[in-house]
C-alpha cells in the first residue's frame, strides 16, 4: 500500500480568498501513477491538483492543511508514504465567514502554525514503513537544510529540489533533485517528473523490508 500526498494547500482568508502556493501536484501524481504501475494499491491525498489524477488510484480530496493532515494521518499505516504535497506551514488564524468588504483600511492577518504531517508520521512510524519527504528550498544552503530535515523529521529519504529555478520544480514538467538519505546522496539529472518518480521508487523499493522465505 502506497500513500501519496500531492498538490498545494489553500488556506481560507475569507469566504472567497485563500493563501496558497504554486505547487501543481505533478510530482505527486507521477509518483502515484508509477507506484500503481508497479502493482501497489495507491491512495492519493490531493490538495487542489492542477493536473488530472492518475487512473486506477484512490483519490481523496484535501484542500486545506487541516484536511490534508486528517486524511493522511488516518492512513499513516501504509507501507510507503510519499509526502510530495506543498502544505502551508501557517494558516490565517481567524478566517472571515463572509467575503471581507473593501473599506480602504489595512487588512492585518494573523497566521498560526499548522500540523507538520511529515514530522508526526516520522515520530509514530511502524517498523518497516518507508517514509519520504520533499524539501523545496531556495538559496545557497538548501541542500544542508534538506539534510537537517532528514534528521529532524526522522524520515528515510528527502527529495531536495531548488524551487528558485523556473525550469524545474514548482509547476514545471521537469525536475532535478538530490535524493538525501542517511547513507548518502544521489543527484538525478534534469528529467521529466515521470522519470524522477521512477528513480525515487527504485530507491524506496531497495529500502522495503525483504519478505521472509515462503511469504
Residues that bind ligand CTP (CB under 6 A): 65, 83, 85, 87, 89, 114-118, 133-136, 145, 149
Q: In the structure grid, which three cell numbers stand for residue 74, read together?
A: 488516518
Residues 98, 142 contacting (CB under 8 angstroms)? no
CA pair distance 91, 80, nearest whole angstrom: 28
Q: State the nearest-atom distance from the C-beta of 93 to ligand CTP, in Å.
A: 15
Q: How does DSSP classify residue 1?
A: -
Which runs of consecutive H residues, i.e. helices, occur in the chain?
Answer: 26-37, 65-73, 117-123, 142-152, 193-207
Q: State the nearest-atom distance from the C-beta of 23 to ligand CTP, in Å.
A: 10
Residues 88, 23 contacting (CB under 8 angstroms)? no
Annotated catalytic residue: which of 21, 48, 161, 175? 21
Q: In the structure grid, which three cell numbers stand for residue 27, read together?
A: 510530482
Q: State the nearest-atom distance from the C-beta of 212 to ligand CTP, in Å.
A: 31
Residue number, 76 or 95, with CB nearest to ligand CTP: 76
Q: Strand 90-92 relative to strand 111-113: parallel, antiparallel, unpaired?
A: antiparallel
Residues 28, 48 contacting (CB under 8 angstroms)? no
Residue number, 99 or 186, with CB nearest to ligand CTP: 186
Residue number, 57 or 82, with CB nearest to ligand CTP: 82
Residue number, 87 or 172, with CB nearest to ligand CTP: 87
Q: State the nearest-atom distance from the C-beta of 106 to ligand CTP, in Å.
A: 26
Residues 83, 156 contacting (CB under 8 angstroms)? no
Residue number, 33 or 162, with CB nearest to ligand CTP: 162
Backbone angle region of 7, left / alpha / beta, with phi > 0 → left and psi within -120 to 50 → alpha: left
Does the active-site annotation cover 127? no
Q: State the nearest-atom distance from the C-beta of 98 to ligand CTP, in Å.
A: 27
- Positions annotated as catalytic residues are 21
Amino acid at each position: 500500500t502506497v500513500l501519496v500526498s500531492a498538490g498545494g494547500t489553500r488556506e481560507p482568508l475569507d469566504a472567497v480568498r485563500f493563501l496558497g502556493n504554486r505547487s501543481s501536484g505533478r510530482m505527486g501524481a507521477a509518483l502515484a501513477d508509477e507506484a500503481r504501475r508497479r502493482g501497489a494499491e495507491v491512495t492519493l491525498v490531493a490538495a487542489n491538483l492542477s493536473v488530472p489524477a492518475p487512473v486506477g488510484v484512490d483519490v481523496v480530496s484535501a484542500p486545506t492543511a487541516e484536511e490534508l493532515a486528517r486524511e493522511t494521518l488516518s492512513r499513516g499505516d501504509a507501507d510507503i508514504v510519499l509526502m510530495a504535497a506543498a502544505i502551508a506551514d501557517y494558516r490565517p488564524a481567524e478566517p472571515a465567514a463572509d467575503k471581507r468588504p473593501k473599506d480602504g483600511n489595512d487588512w492585518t492577518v494573523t497566521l498560526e502554525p499548522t500540523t507538520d504531517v511529515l514530522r508526526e508520521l516520522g515520530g509514530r512510524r511502524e517498523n518497516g514503513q518507508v517514509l519520504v519527504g520533499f524539501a523545496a528550498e531556495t538559496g545557497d544552503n538548501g541542500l544542508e537544510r534538506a539534510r537537517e530535515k532528514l534528521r529532524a523529521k526522522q524520515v528515510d529519504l528527502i527529495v531536495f529540489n531548488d524551487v528558485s529555478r523556473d525550469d524545474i520544480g514548482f509547476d514545471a514538467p521537469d525536475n532535478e533533485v538530490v535524493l538525501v538519505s542517511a547513507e548518502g546522496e544521489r543527484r538525478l539529472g534534469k528529467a521529466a517528473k515521470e522519470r524522477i518518480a521512477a528513480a525515487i521508487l527504485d530507491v524506496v523499493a531497495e529500502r522495503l523490508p525483504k519478505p521472509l522465505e515462503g511469504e
